[in-house]
Amino acid sequence: MKYNCLNSISPAGLKRFTSVYEETKELKEAELVLVRSAKMDEVEIGDGLLAVARAGAGVNNIPHADYAKKGVVVFNTPGANANAVKELVLAMMLLASRDLIGGAKWVRDNAGDENIGKTAEKAKKAFAGTEITGKTLGVVGLGAIGRLVANAALSLGMDVVGYDPYLGVNAALALDPRVKVVTGLADLYAASDFITLHLPAVPATKGMVDAKAIGSMKQGVVLINCARDVIVNEADLLAALESGKVAKYMSDFATPAVAANAKCVVLPHLGASTEEAEDNCAAMAVDELRNFAENGNIVNSVNYPGVNLGTVKAPGRVAVCHNGKPSVLEGILAALSAKGVNVSGSANAVRGEVGYALVDTDVSVSGEALDAIGAVEGVIRVRKVR
């Protein structure tokens, strides 16, 4: 099976491929693709492409909805870079509280002063700051990253308020019970000295931090954005920075509107740029692709439902992408039965307008039986796993 790397992928991940996998430099030849930041809506994929794995969490560079219609499964690696982003958020809080950047620049600018030590004692008051202990951090989004940030902030002596309308049971159990989870963003905004965003860029979140949201925040709040730039309405943000409503904007996304603003500290998207995070993301992405290729299982897909029948033990297994209609699974099973193939196990799930089915059989399925499944109305793609 051939794979292509659209970006440089850590060897820690690539070495997890076995000898049955072969790297190709030609994207159109690839059945599997690994990507980080390359914009896949600007490249032409081959008809044989089965799956794409994003070595990271965000997938706004992949046209995953269009790929779903073609039967191309798109994976991401949630949590693999969470610790790296958590540490950057903590660093941003400290940078916002203590003018370390300004202080370091002063020392560099005055490096030629023979009495710099004495001069520094007089100059340092210009860079005095505050401490984060005892302050309140608001965490918007309590996913893999948000939970780590919330728990770490508690360890630093902060009070923490969290908001996540989709907080699941497992996520809640991983959250320190001292985190106060609120049901409304307005409550979080009003209570927080620092606010950190951990949300995906989807239609519902784009521009959500606007004049109205900022208006309900504390005077002099520090806003931290390691999620996506489009979540913040930059015109409204700039007005709030000018008025002092927002004291500092700490962002991991360089845009023309904020890059040169004196009240903004903007980094070149460094959130997941650690050796450990790149290794973890690559390893997780390769494992997802291998599990899909060898067993048909879907774990951590952004455009298809999760379906997992474990390691293949039956003589045959078939994977089917379909349109999610209830009649499709019946049609698949009927097609196999008509070809004399007995089903020993199956799993099927639907997500939006697409579905995915895995079917274990007592014999290896023939090409003729595969064609019969492919002819079932609503089937997008059928693949023989074993």
The one-character DSSP state at 161 is: E
Q: What pLDDT, on a 0 to 100 scale, did the predictor assign at position 60?
A: 87
Is pLDDT above 90 for 58?
no
% residues pLDDT > 90 (the chain)? 94
DSSP per residue, 264-323: EEE-SS-TT-SHHHHHHHHHHHHHHHHHHHHH--B-SBSSS--B---S--SSEEEEEEE-
Q: What pLDDT, on a 0 to 100 scale, did the predictor assign at position 171?
A: 86
Q: What is the mean pLDDT of residues 141-166?
A: 96
The sign one gets for the Cα dihedral 41, 46, 47, 53 is negative
User: Does the predicted TM-score (pTM) go above 0.85?
Assistant: no
d(CA 125, CA 279) in angstroms, rounded, equals 42
Average pLDDT, the chain: 96
Which tokens belong to 81?
């870079």
- Residue 202 binned pLDDT confidence (cut-offs 50, 70, 90): confident
Sheet strands side by side (includes 51-54): 22-23, 2-5, 32-35, 51-54, 73-75
Give residue for tokens 């508690």.
154
Give residue for tokens 């958590």.
86
The sign one gets for the Cα dihedral 187, 188, 189, 191 is positive
User: Between β-strands 316-322 and 379-384, what pairing exists: parallel, antiparallel or unpaired?
Assistant: antiparallel
Q: What pLDDT, on a 0 to 100 scale, did the predictor assign at position 76?
A: 96
Cβ(67)–Cβ(74) below 8 Å: yes
Domains and CATH numbers, the chain: 1-80+274-304 (3.40.50.720), 82-266 (3.40.50.720), 307-386 (3.30.70.260)
Q: What is the mean pLDDT of residues 356-381?
A: 96
Model pLDDT for residues 255-276, shown as the tens digit of each residue: 999 999 999 999 999 998 999 9
Q: What is the mean pLDDT of residues 337-366?
A: 96
- Using CA atoms, how far residue 265 sits from 80, 100, 234, 242, 305, in Å, is 25, 11, 14, 15, 39
Model pLDDT for residues 61-88, shown as the tens digit of each residue: 999 999 999 999 999 999 999 999 999 9
Model pLDDT for residues 18-31, shown as the tens digit of each residue: 999 999 999 999 99
- Using CA atoms, how far residue 213 sits from 186, 190, 202, 260, in Å, is 7, 10, 18, 24
Q: What is the mean pLDDT of residues 121-147?
A: 96
The radius of gyration computed from the CA coordinates of the chain, to the nearest angstrom, equals: 25
Cβ(312)–Cβ(294) below 8 Å: yes
- Residue 201 binned pLDDT confidence (cut-offs 50, 70, 90): confident
Is pLDDT above 90 for 160?
yes
Is pLDDT above 90 for 181?
yes
Cβ(364)–Cβ(386) below 8 Å: yes
Is pLDDT above 90 for 170?
no
Task: Locate all alpha helices (DSSP H) within the chain, ordered by sequence.
Answer: 11-14, 64-70, 82-97, 100-109, 116-123, 144-155, 169-173, 185-191, 211-215, 234-243, 275-295, 326-338, 367-374
